[in-house]
């Protein structure tokens, strides 16, 4: 198998350092560059399975951490795991019931790929919008939001929407992303506050 999908250096590193997936290094890289998490932040992690971002987050903050995924997340000490679809009202209410004030929302969710590029892109951006709306609803003013997206159709529209809600927004491709992937992270800092649903 070639290096694009094979067991690359991040896979091996994650095994030896006890992380559940290589994705851990993406969040570590983002934190190093952008300092999105403070040491007492309460955090919601959307699309969190198998849980490597939650492992990283647990070392970054003493605050509450709630992770949600369609697939069950094996327990991580002092965190809450929810199984379900974060785009539904029921699961969103469940998340909120566990966490008093949300300082940071991170979202590494991606839909299952169908193989059709434009269909997959539309679904990914649709999921991004759902995560963004949830973040707008729960974040405290001044809070931060990090989301995985994919360069392509409708990306710039999503980015513009996020720019309207945060004072600082950057687009970042981590060195831990696989070569050739269009995966891109949007790092949005300093939430302006919720002013109702968009038009």
Name which of 20 and 189 has its Cβ closer to ligand SAM. Answer: 20
- Does 5 carry a binding-site annotation? no
List 184's β-bridge partners, or say none: 149
Min dist. Cβ of residue 167 to ligand SAM (A): 26
Binders of ligand SAM in range 69-88 (CB under 6 A): 69-71, 85-87
Secondary structure (3-state) at 146: strand
| DSSP track, 47-87 | S-TT-HHHHHHHHH-SS-EEEEESS-----TT-EEEES-TT
Nearest-angstrom CA–CA distance, 10 and 48: 18
Under the criterion CB under 6 A, does residue 92 sit at the interface with ligand SAM? no
Binding of residue 111 to ligand SAM (CB under 6 A): yes
DSSP 5: T
Total binding residues toward ligand SAM, as defined by CB under 6 A: 23
Residue numbers of the site for ligand SAM (CB under 6 A)? 20-21, 23-24, 47-53, 68-71, 85-87, 108-111, 127
Q: Annotated binding site for S-adenosyl-L-methionine: which residue ranges? A: 51, 53, 69, 85, 108
């Amino acid at each position: 198998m070639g290096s694009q999908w094979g067991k690359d250096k991040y896979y091996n590193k994650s095994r030896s350092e006890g992380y559940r997936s290589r994705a851990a290094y993406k969040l570590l890289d983002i934190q190093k560059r952008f300092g999105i998490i403070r040491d007492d932040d309460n955090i919601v992690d959307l699309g969190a399975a198998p849980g490597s971002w939650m492992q990283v987050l647990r070392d970054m903050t003493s605050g509450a951490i709630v992770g949600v995924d369609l697939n069950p997340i094996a327990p991580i000490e002092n965190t809450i795991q929810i199984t379900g679809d974060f785009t539904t009202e029921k699961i969103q209410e469940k998340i909120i019931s566990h966490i008093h004030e949300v300082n940071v929302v991170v979202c590494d969710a991606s839909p299952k790929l169908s193989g059709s590029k434009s269909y997959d892109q539309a679904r990914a951006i649709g999921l991004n919008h759902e995560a963004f709306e949830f973040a707008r609803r729960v974040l405290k003013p001044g809070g931060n939001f990090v989301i995985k997206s994919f360069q392509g159709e409708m990306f710039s529209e999503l980015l513009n929407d996020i720019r309207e809600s945060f004072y600082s927004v950057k687009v970042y491709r981590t060195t831990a992303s696989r070569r050739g992937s269009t995966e891109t992270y949007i790092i949005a800092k300093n939430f302006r506050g919720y002013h109702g649903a968009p038009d």
